[in-house]
Structure 1
Amino acid sequence: MPKSLQPLLDAFRPCFTTPTFTTFVALTIGLIAAPARRTVCGMLTAARMGGHHARAHRFFATAHWNLDQVSMVMLRLVIGWLIPTGAPLLIAVDDTLFRRSGKKVHGAV
């Protein structure tokens, strides 16, 4: 892993168990390094991750990590880089791209 990338990825360490974090790092490096195929297998190949590809597939299917926690870490990193300390932050959310329907879907029309 490039030394410049280590602090960024280390911010995500509390989101994962140690084995899952190792897989996360390999997949992230593979995502960056993959020239075209951004599939799980393509990322593994680009990251030169040894071992069986089932480990990476398990990361998405059954590993214990919380997408909300990962998202909050990412949000804090982006805000920390883009917004000066103490500056106001305006967040606009537009959910018009998401189609909702059904009797049991909150907010559906």
Structure 2
Amino acid sequence: MLPDSTVPASLLAVLAFLRGCFTTPAFTTFAALVTGLIAQTGRGTVTGMLTGAGLPRAWSHDRAHAFFSRASRNPDLLGISVSHLVGRQLIPTDAVLMVSVDDTLFKRRGKKVFGAACQHDGAATGPRGVGRGTCFVVLGLVVGLPFLARPVCLPVMARCGARSRS
């Protein structure tokens, strides 16, 4: 079980808004991974998150990987809950909400890569503009943060834009 001192109380209060999107064990893992993502100084990998949370010896790395592949959660409810949280905490009540949508091709090869296909790639070089990979559609909320001079886009939902192989 996650040591109580691993997740700061202030962060746990924010994450509590998202508790209903997960089962109890999945929420415990989620809170630890978010803490590790914030605290780690290296790349945002799953094992990096465990290291940032101070849990690499306390938890098997499979527990963290299983959260992303097998944990019971509702991604739509999570995205809506994060959107509400961002809207209530970071956007003034009289401000206009700006939503941004982007599709990004992650280049992937192999027979077993889900959703990999030849798809439009806006960053492709050459005349065809096509790349092979998995396309993700990401929805973000554009907000102004008090410590930055420019607005930033906070991604709140993502979906694999897998195309059928016909």
Using the size of structure 1 for normalisation, the TM-score is 0.79
Distance 1:90 1:9, change over 3 A: closer
**Which among 74, 78, 89 is matched to residue 96 of structure 2?**
89
Runs of 4 or more consecutive aligned structure 1 residues displaced over 3 Å after TM superposition: 88-101
Rg: which structure is higher? Answer: 2
Question: Deviations for 1:3-37, whole angstroms, at most 9, x for unmatched residues?
Answer: 21121011111000010000000100000001012
Question: Deviations for 1:38-80, whole angstroms, at most 9, x for unmatched residues?
Answer: 1101100110122211011011001111211111111111110
Partner of residue 154, structure 2: none
Structure 1 unpaired stretches of 5+: none
**Which among 1, 10, 20 is matched to residue 4 of structure 1?**
10
Distance 1:92 1:17, change over 3 A: closer
| Count of matched residue pairs | 102
Query: Higher strand share goes to which structure?
Result: 2
Query: Higher helix share goes to which structure?
Result: 1
Partner of residue 43, structure 2: 37
Q: Which has the higher contact order (CA 8 A, sep 6+)?
A: 1
Amino acid of the residue matched to residue 16 of structure 1?
Answer: F
Amino acid of the residue matched to residue 17 of structure 2?
Answer: A
Using the size of structure 2 for normalisation, the TM-score is 0.54
Partner of residue 65, structure 1: 73
Q: What SS class does the counterpart of residue 82 from structure 2 fall into? A: helix
Alpha-carbon distance in 1 for matches of 2:10, 2:75: 24
Superposition CA RMSD, Å? 2.3
Distance 1:54 1:80, change over 3 A: same
Partner of residue 19, structure 2: 13
Q: Does 1:51 align with 2:63?
A: no
